[in-house]
Structure 1
């Protein structure tokens, strides 16, 4: 999965994993578990940005290890992460022997995306819950998330279009076979 917070990525990832009856590995589950560590780092005077980067990197590393184990068992997996850097995709390609399909959630209607993001409120302490926080996140990415995946099979869905998640999941399942 590839896409920004609030883009429908986790909802679609869950539907795909259910349809394929395979493990769903969500980077946010790992990041959620680091809250107390981040608080301790902040109490120890670690700069907020440094603590966040360290724990985000740790969350990705844990996610990669779990995904690698499942792939090593011969299972298909759905990896739910922003996939915001090409290096993340390259890591998946390496661990899977090149057998990756990118499913990107790219909201076409910014107003609807914003409405969805802000209507969910603060569900997780490390995710943006306001449009201003989203803009700050995108600014921090510096455009690195908009890389070419032409060498990898991919689907891009406008997740603000009037279509059912089940229909999108069915398209993915058909292509995966």
Structure 2
């Protein structure tokens, strides 16, 4: 596949999922397989740590991180490249922005949602990851299960929204025993079918 293109239109493959669900690992593998740009919201947020230390404008900093991500994604799409966008996509407004960008660039949108069925494994990965994170990286992510629960409580269920019939969505269990290679294969098959006008939700 040439730069992750399916047919004549580029693809926005938008990841969705909470911290520690394996979303970033899957996004990296998909982008590597498709040989297309990976745009990770955390890369922008990580760079704002010095600002966070001198201001309490947490929401503004987060919004600026998203805005930078949208601009980079738009630039790649303008070049005719497909992109993998790695962000929680926890608010419907974020998906609406992606759809807006896609409409402007003539791209298709496909959502891949990481939803681990094994909560104990999700918890283990979350807490193990916090021990391996490099200094200055992902300082804004929950590092304990208690912090994760507090984050989910703050969302007040807003992350569980309907993406709509026009946006193909694939839900994957990132704690299954199939391995990331098989999950990537399932995702690429789904994207190929979706670009052939098959728009449905499939759970693997």
Tell me the TM-score normalized by structure 2.
Answer: 0.80
Q: Is the 8 A contact 2:170 2:190 kept in 1?
A: no
Aligned residue pairs: how many? 169
The aligned counterpart of 1:36 is 50
Per residue, is there more strand in 1 or in 2? 2
The aligned counterpart of 1:176 is 191
The aligned counterpart of 2:126 is 117
Tell me the TM-score normalized by structure 1.
Answer: 0.92
Determine if the alignment matches structure 1 residue 74 to structure 2 residue 89: no
Report the secondary structure of 1:126's partner residue. coil
Per residue, is there more helix in 1 or in 2? 1
Moved over 3 A (4+): none
Q: Is the 8 A contact 1:19 1:173 kept in 2?
A: no
The aligned counterpart of 1:143 is 157
Determine if the alignment matches structure 1 residue 132 to structure 2 residue 157: no
The aligned counterpart of 2:112 is 103
CA RMSD in angstroms, aligned pairs only: 1.2
Residue 175 of structure 1 deviates from its aligned partner by 3.0
Report the secondary structure of 1:121's partner residue. helix
5+ long unaligned stretches in structure 2 = 1-14, 193-204
Residue 31 of structure 1 deviates from its aligned partner by 0.2
5+ long unaligned stretches in structure 1 = none
The aligned counterpart of 1:87 is 93
Match of 2:37 among 13, 23, 27: 23
CA-to-partner distance for each residue in 1:121-162, whole Å, 9 max, x for gaps? 252210001000001111111111000124210110011111
